[in-house]
Structure 1
Amino acid sequence: MSSEQTSYRVVLNDEEQYSIWWTDRALPAGWQAEGTEGTREECLARIAQVWTDMRPLSLRERLAA
């Protein structure tokens, strides 16, 4: 399958860190589907839109305390 035909999904972990993963493969341990699926470019655009603070959730919470 060429990269233009490959379908991806946006995934995130418990630390609210984002990545992309192939839709035809099982998700790796610790990651869940965010809900967006499409081309690599579409998924990366979604991540750029929603992942505005790159710090892990645990660090953000620690700094807010």
Structure 2
Amino acid sequence: MTDVTEDLQTYLVVVNHEEQYSVWRSDRELPNGWNAVGSPAGRAECLARIEELWTDMRPLSVR
């Protein structure tokens, strides 16, 4: 069963200096070292965007 609150929440795709991606609630302050990519969207949309963007799972420092 899906949490109704989660369905109404918007999220951001965020990225750090190692080009690692995550989903972050849009109503919260971004953690240090992370930057938003794009605009707020639903969680599923953000996860789909991460799948498109994050094609190499290795941190940037080891590529």
TM-score, normalised relative to structure 2: 0.89
| Larger Rg over CA atoms | 1
**Number of equivalences:** 60
RMSD: 1.1
Aligned residue identity for 2:42: T
- What pairs with 1:1-65 in structure 2 (closer than 5 Å)? 2-60=5-63
Unmatched segments (≥5 aa) in structure 2: none
Name the SS of the counterpart of 2:14 in structure 1.
strand
Q: Does the 8 Å contact 1:36/1:46 carry over to 2?
A: no
**Structure 1 residues without counterparts, runs of 5 or longer:** 61-65
Deviations 1:6-37 (A, max 9, x none): 00000000000000101111000110101142
Which one-letter code corresponds to 1:19 in the other structure? Answer: S
Distance (whole Å) between structure 1 residues aligned to residue 53 and residue 19 of structure 2: 10
Query: Counterpart amino acid of 1:6?
Result: Q
Distance in 2 between residues matched to 1:6 and 1:37, nearest whole Å: 9
Which residue identity lines up with residue 57 of structure 1 in the other structure?
A: L
Runs of 4+ residues over 2 Å off in structure 1: none
